[in-house]
Amino acid sequence: MTRSRGYAACQVGGWGLHTLLNIALSGAHGPPAMGWLIAGATGLGLTHVARRVLRFHAWTRLPLPRLVARVLAAGLGLGLLQNTLVFLEAVFVFHVYALEEASWAGYFNSATMWSLVMGVWLTLYFAVQAVTHARRVEVEHWKLEAAARSAELRFLQAQLQPHFLFNCLNGLRGLIVEDPVRAQEAVTRLSGLLRYALGARGPETVTLQRELQVVDDYLGLEAIRLEERLRVRMDVAPDALGVPVPAMLVQTLVENAIKHGIAPAPRGGEVSVKARIEDRALCLEVANTPGSPDVGAAGTVDSGG
């Protein structure tokens, strides 16, 4: 509906302005105002019909050389047709001119002028179509990219493994009797972690500092199960704490390091988290020992600084 109204406004406004300018510029020695009104109305109707009959929407998919050739041919054809219709209407319908006043030279001069006008109309039409199409493609591109990133981030948020929750609950059951104070601390950590991971309406990116706070809660809960088998080393530059990262990204990497590298080892191992800014990008590394070299993960995130 909006596109149709925009097209109608451009048609009426463009041809109306063309008519008024020609009336104003023609003066006393030019064609009468009625002649320009007939020409403007005819041009408006002819271009609208041509838009339907010639199926301009299919032309927009043509390569540029073929489109230019069609625009030139259509401009010439529409100019000749416009000139003929205006002449016939002015002479036989509205009686603005007498047939004796017509001449072949005047006819061809007028046809040349109308061919130029129609060529300009076609050029503007396809220019508007090209801009509209480019904007539509750009909007669709950003929508798809946003949907893909949202799905990816939701996937990361879903990586809080069920076995981890069961292990936490089992560990809490024993702590409630053995160490109530530590059990309360563990419940607080678990509550904060669940709120962070399962908050469907939370932000999709958080600062690295906020993410590391959640990682600390996670490591504290895993320490209940692994005890001295889990050792942690943090090496985070202060200027990296404010960089935005996908929510649950670091937590997921740390969880994989513990699951595949630390937990299976009888003696456990160390999980290290390193973060620094290099060339205005966040360099983030999560590694563990022992385990295979591919257990750890590293990557960069644009800091936007």
How far, in Å, CA of 275 to CA of 92, rounded? 85
Number of other CB atoms surrounding residue 159 within 10 Å: 15
Q: Is 265 helix (H, G, I), strand (E, B) or coil?
A: coil
Does a structural domain hold residue 184? yes
Identify the domain containing residue 168 by its residue range. Answer: 162-288
Band (292; pLDDT cuts 50, 70, 90): very low
Are 11 and 147 members of one domain?
yes
Are 135 and 214 members of one domain?
no
**Averaged over 282-300, what is the pLDDT?**
66
Are 80 and 26 members of one domain?
yes
pLDDT at 21 over 70: yes
**Averaged over 250-264, what is the pLDDT?**
83
Residues 81, 54: contact at Cβ < 8 Å?
no
How many domains, in total, are found in the chain? 2
Looking at residue 305, its pLDDT comes to 45
Are 44 and 153 members of one domain?
yes
Are 152 and 27 members of one domain?
yes
Looking at residue 41, its pLDDT comes to 92
pLDDT at 117 over 70: yes
Strand pairing report for 230-236 and 269-278: parallel
Q: Which residues pair with 273 in a beta bridge?
A: 234, 286
Give the list of residues 6+ apart from residue 189 with CB closer than 8 angstroms, or none: 217, 218, 220, 221
pLDDT tens column, 203-241? 577 889 988 988 888 888 888 777 888 888 999 999 989
Does a structural domain hold residue 121? yes
Q: Is 206 helix (H, G, I), strand (E, B) or coil?
A: strand
Are 44 and 16 members of one domain?
yes
Does a structural domain hold residue 256? yes
Q: Is 300 helix (H, G, I), strand (E, B) or coil?
A: strand
Does a structural domain hold residue 45? yes
Are 166 and 146 members of one domain?
no
Are 22 and 125 members of one domain?
yes
Please report, rounded to a whole number, the percentage of residues in the chain having pLDDT higher than 70. 81
Tell me, what CATH number does 179's domain have? 3.30.565
* Residue after which a domain boundary falls, among 157, 175, 204: 157
Are 14 and 130 members of one domain?
yes
Are 126 and 202 members of one domain?
no
pLDDT tens column, 177-205? 777 887 888 888 877 777 776 664 455 77
* Most confident of the ranges 27-41, 95-109, 113-127, 243-257: 113-127
Band (69; pLDDT cuts 50, 70, 90): very high
**Averaged over 92-107, what is the pLDDT?**
72
Are 143 and 196 members of one domain?
no
* Residue after which a domain boundary falls, among 91, 124, 157: 157
